């Protein structure tokens, strides 16, 4: 049973590392396993791949939520910038405007990504691909 516990713990650590942006070599080091083991998990272990996909999706959802909340503030600031004199605020209006635009663009991209993911999952379910490990 100790070997199973180490295996599961290694997978959890590898998942955390991969979701944090680590490559396979870094994930293997974080998990205390070989790079080959991480590659095998990614290639052959449906549960591991599904857990990685789910974890990444949850992180993306959390980021999208933060961006959506920031988008409301950015939209308000865009209106303020459009109507306020240039002397208002510490940053030049062009800088603040670009920052607001970046937040709004990121929020829209995140929303599109979540919509795409949901549609892909529905399509895979409909085609029966998700249960066969084709993802």
pLDDT tens per residue across span 35-76: 999 999 999 998 999 999 998 889 888 988 888 888 888 878
Q: Give the pLDDT band of residue 7 (cuts 50, 70, 90).
A: low
Q: What is the pTM of this model?
A: 0.56
Predicted local confidence at residue 13, as pLDDT:
95
CA distances (Å), origin 43, targets 47, 105, 135: 11, 34, 11
Residue whose structure tokens are 């049973």: 1
Predicted local confidence at residue 52, as pLDDT:
92
HEC per residue, 57-92: HHHHHHHHHHHHHHHHHHHHHHHHHHHCCCCCCCCC
Alpha carbon distance 95, 67 (integer Å): 19
């Amino acid at each position: 049973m100790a070997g199973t516990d180490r295996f599961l713990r290694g997978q959890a650590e590898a998942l955390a590392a991969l979701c944090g942006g680590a490559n396979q070599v870094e994930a293997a080091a974080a998990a205390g396993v070989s790079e080959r083991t991480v590659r095998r998990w990614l290639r052959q272990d449906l549960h591991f791949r599904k857990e990685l996909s789910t974890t990444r999706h949850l992180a993306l959802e959390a980021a999208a939520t933060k961006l959506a909340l920031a988008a409301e503030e950015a939209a308000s600031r865009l209106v303020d910038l459009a109507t306020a004199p240039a002397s208002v605020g510490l940053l030049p209006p062009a800088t603040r405007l670009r920052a607001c635009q970046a937040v709004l663009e990121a929020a829209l991209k995140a929303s599109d990504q979540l919509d795409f993911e949901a549609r892909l999952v529905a399509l895979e379910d409909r085609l029966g691909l998700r249960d066969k490990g084709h993802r």
